[in-house]
Structure 1
Amino acid sequence: MRRRLINSTLAVVLVVIAVFGLSLVIVESRTIESSAKDSVQSDAVQLIGVVENRIAAGEKVTSATLGRQVEPGRYAVISVPGQAPITLGAPPRGDVVQARQAGAHGETVLVQEPHSEVTRQIGRTLLVILTVALLAIAAAVVLAVQQGRRLTAPLLDLAETAERLGSGDPRPRHRRYGVPELDRVADVLDASAERIARMLTAERRLAADASHQLRTPLTALSMRLEEIIATDDHDTVKEEASIALGQVERLTDVVERLLTNSRDPRSGSAVAFDLDEVIKQQLEEWRPAYRGEGRTISRSGTPGLRAVGTPGAVAQVLATLIENSLMHGAGSVVIHTRVTGNQAVAEVTDQGQGVPPDLGARVFERTVSGRNSTGLGLAVARDLAEADGGRLELLQQRPPVFALFLARAGAEGGDDVGGVAQGRETPEGPEQGPPVLR
């Protein structure tokens, strides 16, 4: 492209020089020739005037008295009646430019100039015109090179940006070049880069959420299968297989929900359900794991609560909290249910070190974690709770109290009230060793 731009610019400049330069040469040549004739004519008129004045005054006309009247390089012949012709200068060779004048007393003057002098003047003029033309060509080349760089460099940069997008680097460069058309292309590429970045972020987030959310059901399913392998009792195998089948169904529900959220994270499938059933199912699934660690898990509080939400998502949130207590907490774990306003609340607490004061609600942020965990569990659990209009809060840091707020089925009005359960102290208890991040 740069070579084409230089060639096209040079072609335009050469055409302009050919048209206007040739016309200028013709005009200047004719002007120089006309000026030379006028100058010779002027010398002849001046010289005849001097001769007439001398004749009228009775003075003698000689070459000595007329020598200064002719410019150097010119030749003049003065003819006066009754005396020999008077010559001034050397006779020219070749073509000449001449002028003749006659006086009132019969005298004549002939002035000649070599045409070669006119040719030299035309040559000098042509040299000046040629120099200007060469300077114009050089300036055109410099301008064309600069314009070529100004246009090709942005194009190369845009090509590099497009190549980066194709190689999986969606960072927008936000570069502009002062050329509206190129800036428009840059705008489109930056917008595409931002869209691709959002898509890649969504895909990575889906992959991270899927790996985390599927881990808990798979862990529970693995425990059920281990129970089946470890027993020879037919009734126990049947019971454990039934539980495992329910876990597979919940695992399928988790996968479908992940796919739904990846298409539209605001889409919900909230229904009225029995909160006790979900809690009972979680207790049955996690009790063997807690028993293996020498710990207990139980429930307390208000029974018979019906809430509005997605049972599978609520189960996943509770499973995350229970697993969190198993991994990072200590002592007994209690799932406490209560009613506050028009909401049903399920609180999960343990007797562990809790959450350090400097973290607080930041435990729900992605990548905030401890003990080499992924930092996704609580963040994903909060997203699941909010997808159906609920919310997940940290009510107390030590001992830790996590609360899942859900709308009560059939409840109208009421305030969206948070806080701790009745009879539970809100101040943080005394420190019991270093805090444990969750």
Structure 2
Amino acid sequence: MRRRLLSSTLVVAVIAVLLLGVPLGLVVGRLIVDEAAKELRSEATRLVEEVEYARIQDAPLDPQQLKQKYPERYIQIYERGNPPKATIVGTPPPSGHQMMEDAQSDSGIYVRVSRDKDQVEQDVRARLLLIVALAVAALAVAVGLAIVQSRRLTLPLQDLAKIAERLGSGDARPSKHRYGIPELDRVAEVLDRSATRISDLLTREREFATDASHQLRTPLTGLTMRLEEIVAAADHPEVVQEEGEAAIVQAERLTAVIDELLAAARRQRHAQAEPITVDDVLVQQVTEWEPVFRGSGRELLLEGERGLQALATTGGLGQVVASLLENSLRHGGGTVRVSTSRGDNYVVIEIGDEGPGIDDAIAGRVFDRNVSGGGGTGLGLTLARALAAADGGRLELVRRRPAVFALFLRPVEEKGRTRVVTGPA
């Protein structure tokens, strides 16, 4: 590209120089010749006047003085009289290489002034050489400007190509380079926006993989537990059937969790909340987690008002409750109570235990990603709050010691209100 810019600029400069220089050279040459002829006519006229004045004064002409006054001129003066007089001054130019001009007066004085034409042609050549030198200098300046301009254009283009190649290789860092050229700056802005979008997509893909590994662990644990119960109850067909049905439910929940994660990763959860019976979800979760707590020597209780309804998704609410129960199992202690109540504007689900609670150092950041006080992944509470927000609810830490989390859900009366929320980023 740089070569094409240089060649095109040079061609344009050459054409411009030719269009301007050739006519200028012709005009300058013609002007020099005309100026030389005009000067000869002026000298001839002046000599006529001088000869007439000398005649009036009855003074003779001094050829030597005329030669000093008009150097490099061949002068012929003829005076009519009896006898006629002729005065010759200077050396005649070579034949065919002379310029001459005549002048005469009414009193019979005739003057011819001649000069060597080669001197005029030499002056014309000198001026033409000057024009050529200026043209060459103009071409050199044009080439220099073309080099500067080509570098100003090609270097940013090469930089943009490297940025695009880096984006294609997965390095989605915005360059924030600007070049002072509006068109190229526009391309750079578009690439930066594309880099931001690609970075966001890559971040969400990584988060999805991390979130999936964390969120799928809970249903898989429950499914494994049910399968172990089936194996342990192999001699009791009715128990095997019951546990097998529970394992099927766990598998269906696992599928629902995958759908929830995919929707969250693609930002496709938009106001999907619908009226659900809170007890159905809580009873299912307590039933699934009670054997695990019992195996750890702890008790899991469901308390509070029954028959409450709220706006949520069954899968989202189940994941939030499961995350809180798992968090209590891993980091809490004593009896875990799941209590429900109805406030003025919310249906409230509180989950608390009798453990040591949450350290003051992380209490304010307990919902931040990758923040954990007990060697966990630091994702459970982050995802739980995101899932609650996706359904239009809110998850808060209402007490630090012992820890109590409260999930605020919208009551069914808000179904007719327009509300659009999005899932986790």
Q: Decide: shared fold, TM above 0.5.
A: yes
Q: Is the 8 A contact 2:308 2:342 kept in 1?
A: no
Q: Which residue of 2 aligns with 1:75?
A: 74
Aligned-partner residue type, residue 58 of structure 1: D
| Residue 354 of structure 1: how far off its partner (Å) | 1.5
Runs of 4+, deviation exceeding 6 Å:
none
**What is the aligned-residue identity percentage?**
44
Match of 1:111 among 110, 113, 120: 113
2-structure distance, mates of 1:185, 1:373:
44
Q: Which residue of 1 aligns with 2:330?
A: 327
| Residue 105 of structure 1: how far off its partner (Å) | 5.4
| Residue 234 of structure 1: how far off its partner (Å) | 2.4
Q: Is the 8 A contact 2:306 2:340 kept in 1?
A: no
- CA spacing shift, 1:68–1:52, aligned 2, 3 Å: farther
- CA spacing shift, 1:10–1:315, aligned 2, 3 Å: same
Return 5+ residue gaps in structure 1 as ranges.
413-438
Q: Is the 8 A contact 1:62 1:86 kept in 2?
A: no
2-structure distance, mates of 1:279, 1:139:
83
User: Does 1:273 find its partner at 2:277?
Assistant: yes
| Residue 67 of structure 1: how far off its partner (Å) | 3.3
Secondary structure of the residue aligned to 2:276 is: strand
2-structure distance, mates of 1:177, 1:24:
40
Query: Pairwise mapping of residues 92-103 of structure 1 onto structure 2 (< 5 A)?
Result: 92-94=93-95, 95-103=97-105
2-structure distance, mates of 1:54, 1:249:
135
Aligned-partner residue type, residue 207 of structure 1: A
Secondary structure of the residue aligned to 2:371 is: coil
Q: Is the 8 A contact 1:92 1:114 kept in 2?
A: yes
Secondary structure of the residue aligned to 1:359 is: helix
| Residue 97 of structure 1: how far off its partner (Å) | 0.9
- CA spacing shift, 1:356–1:107, aligned 2, 3 Å: same
Q: Which residue of 2 aligns with 1:22?
A: 22
1-structure distance, mates of 2:182, 2:253:
56
Q: Which residue of 2 aligns with 1:373?
A: 376
Secondary structure of the residue aligned to 1:368 is: coil
Q: Is the 8 A contact 1:283 1:297 kept in 2?
A: no
User: Does 1:34 find its partner at 2:34?
Assistant: yes
Return 5+ residue gaps in structure 2 as ranges.
416-425
Q: Which residue of 2 aligns with 1:197?
A: 199
Query: Pairwise mapping of residues 355-394 of structure 1 onto structure 2 (< 5 A)?
Result: 355-394=358-397
Cα RMSD (Å) of the superposition? 2.7
| Residue 103 of structure 1: how far off its partner (Å) | 4.8
Q: Which residue of 1 aligns with 2:420?
A: none
- TM value normalised by structure 2: 0.86
Match of 1:138 among 137, 140, 144: 140
- TM value normalised by structure 1: 0.84
Q: Is the 8 A contact 1:302 1:339 kept in 2?
A: no
1-structure distance, mates of 2:318, 2:304:
18
- CA spacing shift, 1:65–1:298, aligned 2, 3 Å: closer
User: Does 1:122 find its partner at 2:124?
Assistant: yes
2-structure distance, mates of 1:105, 1:389:
123
2-structure distance, mates of 1:159, 1:171:
14
Query: Pairwise mapping of residues 172-183 of structure 1 onto structure 2 (< 5 A)?
Result: 172-183=174-185
- CA spacing shift, 1:269–1:100, aligned 2, 3 Å: closer
Q: Which residue of 2 aligns with 1:164?
A: 166
Q: Which residue of 2 aligns with 1:259?
A: 262
The answer to which of 197-206 and 1-10 deviates more is 197-206
User: Does 1:223 find its partner at 2:225?
Assistant: yes
1-structure distance, mates of 2:300, 2:92:
136
1-structure distance, mates of 2:302, 2:374:
30
Q: Is the 8 A contact 2:179 2:185 kept in 1?
A: yes
Aligned-partner residue type, residue 268 of structure 1: Q
Instruction: Provide Cα deviations, 1:297-337, integer angstroms capped at 9, x if missing partner.
Output: 22153252333233332222121111111212233323233
Q: Is the 8 A contact 2:303 2:337 kept in 1?
A: no
> Aligned pair count?
409
Q: Which residue of 2 aligns with 1:425?
A: none
